[in-house]
Structure 1
Amino acid sequence: MKKLSILFTFLTINSFGQSFNTFPVQTQKPPLHGKNWMAITGKPLAATAGAMIFTKGGNAIDASCAMLAATCTMWDVLSWGGETQALIYNPKTKKVIAINALGVAPTGATADFYKSKGYKYPPQYGPLAAVTPGTPGGLLTMLAEYGTMSLKEVLAPAMELAQGYPIEGQTANAIEKGKDQIKQWPYSKKVFLPHLGEGREAPEAGEIFVQKELYETLKKLVETEQAALKSGKSRKDAIYAAYDRFYKGDIAKEIARGTQEQGGLITEQDLATWKVKIEEPMSTNYKGIEVFKLQQWTQGPVMLQALNMLENFDLKSMGYNSTRYIHTLYQTMNLAFADRDFYYGDPAFEPEEPMKGLMSKQYAKDRLKLINWDKNDPNVKPGDPYPYENKVNPYLDQIKGEKVGKINEGPVGGQFLEDFTAGTTSVISADKEGWVVSITPSGGWVPACIAGNTGVGLSQRMQSFVLDAAENPFNVVEPGKRPRVTLTPSIALKDGKPFLAFAKQAGDEQDQLLLQFFLNMVEFNMTVQEACEAPSFKTYQMYSSFGDHEKKPGSLMLNEQMPPWIRNDLLNMGYKLEYQPRTSGPINAIFLDWKHGTLWGGSSNHGEDYGLGW
């Protein structure tokens, strides 16, 4: 903690624009450097999988797919039945591409169905929490469209892991903690609890963890690809043949059977009709930097909305983590998150989200007029973006009335904090050819319900839907619909070139900490590793996307090194303060240093995230 204290003190004192590149801080983790490639993700072994692919001549897409496959196999708060969200910079077209590989609500998943079972929201765990698997389709699509290697090559590290790897303590202990739920699902019990009936039923840290059924599933995908290649199909078509086997063949059949056997709703037809979407991302220009996020089926645009408001301030002159700076960002974020809570949802379904209005620069300026510069406002409501689209808001009475939702008056911690920061990892890579990848995959975290004899852990993303249109008319569950998720990768361009790829885990924390990371670099001149480690602050004033969908108005989580004079200022402004020893992430990021033609990698100073470069 001594180095973190030094870092915090330095950043607080040196808050008026001094270049951190001139006087670099000694960070707890060293920055990564490379000139050929960079691979960063949530598990060191998975980063090694990416490095293995790079050393065999693969590009950043190939390496990212290998890291994604490895993190799924290692249950790094996700598995193969989860969802994948990605942004890719294509150096050939010089454009950013968005990958939407989020599953959908299955047949029969209606608000009335869940209400009939006594749910206020879809459940957090089990087969009724599952959207259709998205990660396999996302991985296969990215590899087919933008990669260079075969599926056999890219899945080789994950398949070796499935045959047995020394499980790390974090996952092993999560299995032990969740074993009572795991025992409800026979296929999960068989995989996760090799010591059934003993004092500790989960694997021990360092024990070889074997997943025979998952290995067989991955083997089927590779066999299908290899057979297609032998029959004369192209690399791309051969990979899509494996895609079809997963979603339309015997694997799909077993997923549907195994899910339904355990009380779930997913059908073979649900799997066969689901497709990955390659989309246009959303973006905004912040002081000459183009920032890209996924569309409103994620929370990504909330960061863009916040940047539209913050560009109207001289943040640098406020001082890093000063009272004024914290208050400005906190109030701005809450305005954006209030819009997220009410207006974001799947754009493929009616009603149409008012994104043009929400992304309007004038709307951003007008929202700022609501800020009380002396006090926190615990009653922030959604705005009215419809006039900025020359439309009339059909929900005006609804947003002016009392918001439906649960207020949690207790301290931040326990189940609330666990729900708020649920799941997710990140996969970041870049190469010398100019490919840049930012992925925030998730879903199927421990305790996961495994679908039959496939080894595939099912998603828990249904819980991000609402059942009552009064909470969000755009995010009410319907069959075939994608829930509005927290998963939010980021890419930024400067002078028309890739500048940053960044992403983080931890649910509703993601965009508020990614926003601060971005400002750390562009406003306070931190290096990428400094920006990843620098103490952030967190608001819990938006509704959680998980569990009971609670919020804590006025709650502000600070780093425990925050000076007492700033604490007193914030208390006098009506904030309810809580403290954590580390508040920086985990954020993973790559900075593209065009001046020197090199890559810088950064990873926060807590969690298991890290990477390799060359």
Structure 2
Amino acid sequence: MLSRPELRGTRGAVAATHWLAAAAGMDMLSQGGNAFDAAVAAAFVTQVVEPHLNGPAGDVPILAYDARTARVDVICGQGPMPRAATVDAFRDRGLDAIPGSGLLAACVPGAFGAWMRLLRDHGRMTPAQVLAPAIGYAEKGYPVLPKAAEMIDVLAPLFREEWTESGRAYLRGGRAPAAGTRLDNPDLARTFRLLVEESEAAGGDRERRIDAAVTAFHEGFVAEAIDKFATGTPMLDATGQHNAGLLTGEDMASWRATVERPVVGEYRGHTVHKCGPWSQGPVFLQQLALLEGFELSGMRPGGADHLHTVVECAKLAFADREAWYGDPDHTDVPLEALLGAEYADGRRALVGERAAMELRPGSPHGRVPVMPPVSEPAGAEGPEWMRQLGDGIPAIVRLTQAKGDTCCVSATDSEGNMVVATPSGGWLKSSPVVPGLGFPLGTRGQMANLVPDHPNAVAPGKRPRTTLSPTLVLRDGEPYMAFGTPGGDQQDQWTLNFFLRHVDFRAGAQEAVEAPAFHTDAVPSSFTPHVATPGSVVVEKGCPDEVVEELRRRGHVVRIAPAHSLGKVCATGHTGDGLVFGAASPRGEQAYAVAR
């Protein structure tokens, strides 16, 4: 039995990882906006109400289907590393990896510019309109999520003693806010208001006002504040030392969000669009290419054969991610070969009856794969907040809690437009708040490595290969479904599970969202300290005992996660009969869909 209905409507649908964001998106549709306006407004609300998971200085990949052009575009909001970011710049500091907290891992902020690019190219509203809900919540307050309250509480000593601007923004009387209580962010509200003022002062048409807001962010008062703070204020980070950052105002001024063509794959009559190999997106397509050769529909949904097959294919695809993915503007990624049918046929033959315990990247075109180093789990020394800084994932990392990061926004309207994005970065846990702005910088640079000949090695102006990975699907050439989830490395496993449940096992969207989730941690985490658990399978509590035992018999190292803890898939789309639909996971009790 479903815990929530699959919502349907005639005007539009919005699904997001926070109910206030979904409501803000629907408000834009009610005011005459389209799906793109709705997504932008929803996204800015998440920056206020989910500050532990994303912010204006974070990152976002966006997939947009515009009915006017019948084309899918990728808007890349993954900013590059600063010009001063070289392997030697980190090695000379005695580092063998880029720390996951502090200022050294900061990339050029990409989120604000990417959302403005979406608004400019596809929306019909102004910055003042789409920012109004976010400004309202930042000024008047919003209810603090339990996970955010827990994070602020654990980090309160750090905020009081070291990251004092974070303390000023998120502590009250030196203490963390209680879950559910009202919290405001006057500095963030002021930042958004100033951006709107700069936009309106520019006058002219809508596009001119949007461009003025972007200029104010990347070349004006926001860039000036970031430059002064990042390069001139050494801050405590995961190294245990105080380090200034590498990001400058010049880095910000020289970057703008770009529009790219998506990477495309076919699966059982569906055309699946993903971002390029600067994201982990193609790994979704590699998994589908492998699974095309198995009759999943003949397996028991959630049974041992189903889980074993999907997990073993995931290990192969993610091993290729580790060896071959990187910014294609800076490295030669053999993507065509990796997604080719002949390559998939050869790799599929590696799927056996037993669980593979080692990483097995392929050799497209006979090239020799290069694997980045794998770390050992860190020791539990020092205060709790210091241990948390050592783990780059923006969650309070405890054994009883599933890890996760990121937000998701999906929107569809009756005009045929469809958009999905997974905004992330700029997490409270990972970097101190910039004085006067009300938000921290991102730490996505931690996902690059210091292996000079690796495709994902750090380099000036190069994008680190991110985990962020939305998905947009056409069926019979028509817009069908747009979905994503928080979850770091697991995003393209949890959304794959959703997609397979829908396509191979004929589940409705809400039923597929709520289906029991699973994943493998066999591939090294993209977050510091880049640990892996060979042979692992993580299933939610409630997975049948006989399935768990059979997986263990096949050699899998099975861990039971808390019930309903893996992922928060959000999806919207078209039913094919003139209606739109929305679905959102009940996991975490905060993601909601709205349809009208």
Q: Provide the TM-score with structure 1 as the length reference.
A: 0.89
Instruction: State the shift of 1:419 in Å.
Output: 11
Q: Which of 178, 181, 198 matches 1:204?
A: 178
Q: Which of 118, 122, 128 matches 1:142?
A: 118
Are 2:434 and 1:451 equivalent residues in the alignment?
A: yes
The answer to which of 511-520 and 46-55 deviates more is 46-55
Identical amino acids, percent of aligned pairs: 33
Residues 424, 441 of structure 1: 8 Å contact kept: yes
Note the residue ranges of structure 1 that are not aligned, 5 or more in a row.
Answer: 1-25, 388-392
Instruction: State the shift of 1:113 in Å.
Output: 2.0
Aligned residues between the structures: 565
Aligned to 2:107: 131
Aligned to 1:502: 483
Are 2:154 and 1:174 equivalent residues in the alignment?
A: no
Q: Which of 16, 36, 58 matches 1:41?
A: 16
Residues 584, 604 of structure 1: 8 Å contact kept: no
Matches within 5 A, 1:208-607: 208-229=182-203, 233-262=204-233, 263-349=244-330, 351-372=331-352, 374-387=353-366, 393=367, 395=368, 398=370, 404-406=373-375, 415=397, 421-447=403-429, 448-469=431-452, 473-580=454-561, 581-595=563-577, 597-607=578-588
Instruction: State the shift of 1:584 in Å.
Output: 4.8
Residues 420, 544 of structure 1: 8 Å contact kept: no
C-alpha deviations, 1:383-418, integer Å up to 9, x for none? 01125xxxxx2x35x56xxx73235599xx984879
Are 2:131 and 1:185 equivalent residues in the alignment?
A: no
Instruction: State the shift of 1:583 in Å.
Output: 5.0
Q: 1:459 to 1:420 in 2, by over 3 A?
A: farther
Instruction: State the shift of 1:575 in Å.
Output: 0.9
Q: Please give the secondary structure, in 2, of the residue aligned with 1:122.
A: coil
Q: Please give the secondary structure, in 2, of the residue aligned with 1:73.
A: helix
Residues 144, 182 of structure 2: 8 Å contact kept: no
Residues 195, 203 of structure 1: 8 Å contact kept: no
Q: Which of 39, 61, 67 matches 2:36?
A: 61
Residues 359, 523 of structure 2: 8 Å contact kept: no
Residues 178, 446 of structure 1: 8 Å contact kept: no
Aligned partners of 1:335, 1:181: CA distance in 2, in Å? Answer: 40
The answer to which of 103-112 and 531-540 deviates more is 103-112
The answer to which of 563-572 and 292-301 deviates more is 563-572
Counterpart residue type for residue 246 of structure 1: F
Counterpart residue type for residue 518 of structure 1: F
Q: Please give the secondary structure, in 2, of the residue aligned with 1:129.
A: coil
Residues 461, 483 of structure 1: 8 Å contact kept: yes
Residues 408, 422 of structure 2: 8 Å contact kept: yes
Q: Please give the secondary structure, in 2, of the residue aligned with 1:463.
A: helix
C-alpha deviations, 1:541-579, integer Å up to 9, x for none? 111000211110111112222222222211111111111
Instruction: State the shift of 1:76 in Å.
Output: 5.2
Aligned partners of 2:439, 2:170: CA distance in 1, in Å? Answer: 12
Aligned partners of 2:592, 2:264: CA distance in 1, in Å? Answer: 28
Q: 1:250 to 1:406 in 2, by over 3 A?
A: closer
C-alpha deviations, 1:29-84, integer Å up to 9, x for none? 22222111111111111111112111111111111000111101221511111011
Q: 1:206 to 1:539 in 2, by over 3 A?
A: closer
Residues 485, 568 of structure 2: 8 Å contact kept: yes
Counterpart residue type for residue 41 of structure 1: A
Counterpart residue type for residue 212 of structure 1: P
Matches within 5 A, 1:8-27: 26-27=1-2
Residues 39, 410 of structure 2: 8 Å contact kept: yes
Q: 1:251 to 1:407 in 2, by over 3 A?
A: closer
Aligned partners of 2:158, 2:343: CA distance in 1, in Å? Answer: 46
Counterpart residue type for residue 245 of structure 1: A
Q: Please give the secondary structure, in 1, of the residue aligned with 2:482.
A: strand
C-alpha deviations, 1:277-323, integer Å up to 9, x for none? 10000010111110010000000100100101111111101221222
Q: Please give the secondary structure, in 2, of the residue aligned with 1:205.
A: coil
Residues 559, 582 of structure 1: 8 Å contact kept: yes
Residues 62, 148 of structure 1: 8 Å contact kept: yes
Aligned partners of 1:277, 1:116: CA distance in 2, in Å? Answer: 32
| Alignment RMSD | 2.0
Instruction: State the shift of 1:115 in Å.
Output: 2.4
Q: Provide the TM-score with structure 2 as the length reference.
A: 0.91
Note the residue ranges of structure 2 that are not aligned, 5 or more in a row.
Answer: 234-243, 380-394
Counterpart residue type for residue 28 of structure 1: S
Q: Please give the secondary structure, in 2, of the residue aligned with 1:127.
A: coil
Aligned to 2:391: none
C-alpha deviations, 1:459-485, integer Å up to 9, x for none? 121111111247xx1111112111101
Matches within 5 A, 1:113-132: 113-132=89-108
